[in-house]
Amino acid sequence: MARILIIDDDPDISTIIAQLAEDAGHAPYTAGTLGDGLRRLHSTPIDLVFLDVRLPDGRGIDALADIRKSEGQPDVIIITGLGDPDGAELAIQNGAWDYIEKGSTLKQIAFSMDRALKYRERHRPGESRSLKRDKLVGDSPAVHAVLDNLVVAATGEASVLITGETGTGKEVVARTVHENSNRASGPFVVLDCASIPANLVEGELFGHVKGSFTGATASRQGVVGQADGGTLFLDEVGELPLAMQGAFLRVLQEKRYRPVGSTRELVSDFRLVAATNRDLESMCRAGTFRTDLFYRLKSCAILVPPLRQRLEDVPALARHHLDGICARYGWQPKQLSEELLSLLMHYEWPGNVRELVQTLERTAVFAADEETIYPEHLPVDIRARAAGRMVQRTCSLESSVAEMPQAQDVVPEQAGTDVRGAAVVSSADVLGDVLGDVPAVSPSASPADSTGTAVESAGQEVASEPDFVSRYLETGGETGAGRRGTIPRFKEFRTACIDHIEKAYLERLLDVADGSIKDACRLSGLSRTRLYVLMKSHGVVRE
CATH of the domain at 211: 3.40.50.300
How many Cβ atoms from other residues are within 10 Å of residue 265's Cβ? 11
Residue 62 DSSP one-character state: G
Q: At CB < 8 A and 24+ separation, what contacts does 468-476 make?
A: 468/497, 468/500, 469/497, 472/496, 472/497
- Whether the per-residue pLDDT at 229 is higher than 70: the answer is yes
Shared-domain flag, residues 146 and 40: no
Shared-domain flag, residues 40 and 160: no
Would you say residue 524 lies in a domain? yes
How many Cβ atoms from other residues are within 10 Å of residue 11's Cβ? 11
Most confident of 119-128, 206-215, 369-378, 392-401: 369-378
Q: What are phi and psi of 376, to 5 degrees?
A: -65, -15
Query: What's the mean pLDDT in 519-543?
Result: 80
C-alpha–C-alpha distance, residues 289 and 281, integer Å: 8
Q: What is the pLDDT of residue 195?
A: 92
Sequence-distant (≥ 6) Cβ neighbours of residue 371 within 8 angstroms: 332, 334, 335
Burial of 464 (C-beta count, 10 Å sphere; 0-12/13-18/19+)? exposed
Shared-domain flag, residues 398 and 279: no
| Last-in-domain residue among 305, 340, 367 | 305
Shared-domain flag, residues 315 and 295: no
Indicate the pLDDT class of residue 478, thresholds 50, 70 and 90.
Answer: low
Shared-domain flag, residues 155 and 219: yes
| Last-in-domain residue among 287, 305, 323 | 305
Nearest 5°: CA angle at 150, between 291 and 278? 35
Query: What's the mean pLDDT in 92-109?
Result: 80
Would you say residue 415 lies in a domain? no
Structural domain total, the chain? 4
pLDDT higher at 141 or 370: 370
pLDDT higher at 469 or 132: 132
Shared-domain flag, residues 454 and 471: yes
pLDDT, tens only, 128-173:
456 788 888 988 878 888 888 888 888 888 999 999 999 999 999 9
Q: Of the given ranges (79-88, 407-416, 479-488, 508-517), which has the lowest mean pLDDT?
A: 407-416
Would you say residue 212 lies in a domain? yes
Q: Across the chain, what does the average pLDDT equal?
A: 80
Shared-domain flag, residues 396 and 288: no
C-alpha–C-alpha distance, residues 176 and 509, integer Å: 52
Q: What is the pLDDT of residue 321?
A: 95
| Last-in-domain residue among 60, 91, 122 | 122
Query: What's the mean pLDDT in 501-523?
Result: 87
Shared-domain flag, residues 15 and 98: yes
C-alpha–C-alpha distance, residues 164 and 149, integer Å: 14
Q: What is the pLDDT of residue 275?
A: 97
Range of the domain at 510: 450-538
Shared-domain flag, residues 207 and 117: no
Would you say residue 151 lies in a domain? yes
Shared-domain flag, residues 256 and 321: no
- The answer to whether 270 touches 231, Cβ cutoff 8 Å, is yes
Shared-domain flag, residues 276 and 188: yes
CATH of the domain at 427: 1.10.8.60
Would you say residue 370 lies in a domain? yes
- The answer to whether 318 touches 341, Cβ cutoff 8 Å, is yes
- Whether the per-residue pLDDT at 200 is higher than 60: the answer is yes
pLDDT, tens only, 249-269:
999 999 999 998 888 899 999
Indicate the pLDDT class of residue 447, thresholds 50, 70 and 90.
Answer: very low
- Whether the per-residue pLDDT at 406 is higher than 60: the answer is no
Q: What H or E segment, with its residue span, contains residue 55?
A: strand 54-55
Q: Of the given ranges (97-101, 293-297, 462-466), which has the lowest mean pLDDT?
A: 462-466
Would you say residue 445 lies in a domain? no
Q: What is the pLDDT of residue 391?
A: 67
Indicate the pLDDT class of residue 237, thresholds 50, 70 and 90.
Answer: very high
Q: What is the pLDDT of residue 175?
A: 95
Would you say residue 443 lies in a domain? no
Shared-domain flag, residues 209 and 93: no
Would you say residue 98 lies in a domain? yes
